[in-house]
Structure 1
């Protein structure tokens, strides 16, 4: 299986969820593999330029969607950037407790699915 380059977009408050997703991808029984290209810490004032370059080099963007997403300016910019650059975006719900019916405009038209191996794997395989 060829590893796909995936940018994981998440609200800083949801860093633990990003860590879980990366760990899940490394699990021997996981049906998907990817190289995590997410931003793990804020960059300097040029972070948007650096981030755009990183996103453009990816096969897709997984956005971890929680109640924190709507106020996460960095995450919303990353999603908007990916869409501007034509990089496919898939949203996954962080967990059932964080599911919100009020998605931010940046996620309009983006399919948001439940976080499970099948949903993530089938999307990554299509990239």
Structure 2
């Protein structure tokens, strides 16, 4: 079977890097190849960022460039994601660029977790960690779920899938 290739930007808390790999692996079992343009910061570069040796303006410019290339933005939702300023910024930037925004709860989450403010405003879909749900969202099927994959009331959602 030929893979369907999706160019995506995966917004996530860097503590959740393993979930980005897991997401890629999960959808590959359904015949999808995710080409991810997001930034995965190496420890030595994280020190430079923490010490403000790289300006926020430079980071924002790089993120926007990488997002423009992607056709969709996926937000990995973990327990601490809502506290990450850059994740919230990336969601707003994706909305401004007209990108569909898909929230995916991390694998293993059973209880409801706080969702980043901008994801509440601009999500096209928010789904549980299930390959069929993620693939449906990638294909433009709007759906809103709880972390366990059960239906959830639709949130505001600001993007329209064309």
Using structure 1 for the length normalisation, give the TM-score. 0.84
Question: For residue 15 of structure 1, what is the aligned residue in structure 2?
Answer: 17
- Alignment root-mean-square deviation, CA: 2.1
Aligned with 2:93 (options 66, 81, 84)? 81
Answer whether contact 2:37 2:69 (CA < 8 A) is retained. Answer: no
Asked if 1:30 is matched to 2:30, the reply is: yes
Secondary structure of residue in 2 paired with 1:83: helix
Question: For residue 5 of structure 1, what is the aligned residue in structure 2?
Answer: 7
Q: Where in structure 1 are there 5+ consecutive unaligned residues?
A: none
Q: Which has more radius of gyration? A: 2
* 1:101 Cα offset (Å): 4.6
How far apart, CA to CA, are the structure 2 residues paired with 1:123 and 1:59?
13
Question: For residue 135 of structure 2, what is the aligned residue in structure 1?
Answer: 121
Pairs within 5 Å for 1:35-46? 35-41=35-41, 44-45=54-55, 46=58
Question: For residue 150 of structure 2, what is the aligned residue in structure 1?
Answer: none
* 1:95 Cα offset (Å): 2.9
How far apart, CA to CA, are the structure 2 residues paired with 1:62 and 1:99?
20
Question: 1:2-33 CA distances to partner (integer Å, 9 max, x unpaired)?
Answer: 412111110111111112112334x4x32322
Using structure 2 for the length normalisation, give the TM-score. 0.68
